[in-house]
Structure 1
């Protein structure tokens, strides 16, 4: 989760104020410590969703968002979205997958992974493929489509697009550093200044 939070913080920092929104699903609440920089500064769209009900709510909202934007684009009327519709890029961080996910939620997650990026909804999962083996081959397409990053320094990752192995160094701040908190505090202040 530390690596996921570091990536999310970088994305929040480089996008203009209000142009990038982060949602978190943390069904068991096990990511509370690493998520503290995001939750403590108020840069998340809402508090991390917990339990099966939280998973269902976030996935339903993001699935509806993907459907609405796709319909508007297919109809050639991207300006026909409802008034006040948030047009920012969206990132969903899922912690501890598949905990808290039933079959319907797994299908919605697959839909978001497949259809979301084309309309600005992106997925970052903190998961262990072994723990989701009970779903059998249902999730194989999902796992194959994801770029897998390791949180372990000097480990290798396989790039599914070019078939190259890379040495990866997680983009973490030094232990005890307040840089992450300071950057996210500035992001939150910029959003308030722009009413976003």
Structure 2
């Protein structure tokens, strides 16, 4: 902390963005579920906790390693995706490169409490191992992969919908991908899993 404090004292402040006003809100929304006391990673809920990690945060954000999300962007839209938007990424990067100032703590939002666990689909899903042809219509709400996989739906009208692509599977997250908008699939739709089996709801 002495080294971090010394480095902080020599960082020129060239931005009006501050931890108290803008950055804490981004961190609380996207990072607090893991980066908290007794969480999966080091806590980042206060300026004192986050400031020594500022440059590492910038690098992880720019490389899209944090927040962790192992589905390929552009394939499907999911309600439980914690990824940062481009404007949020710009805020974090510009704050760090502008000296990572704290700002006036009077503007700090309330520190979030322990988050509710993500809502998982209830009951047992239907397994798709290679290919499944629907014998009746269904509304697809979530997909739970068991490994790296691309999931595609071939509809009876000949159209193709790419539903999910998990290229770098991380078993420690053990997550279901909950569709932002449930998808109605007609009878005769072929669901194909190129890779590991998946469960669908």
TM-score bin (small chain): under 0.3
Normalised TM-score (structure 2) = 0.26
Richer in strand (by share)? 2
Computing the radius of gyration from Cα coordinates, the structure with the larger value is 2
Richer in helix (by share)? 1
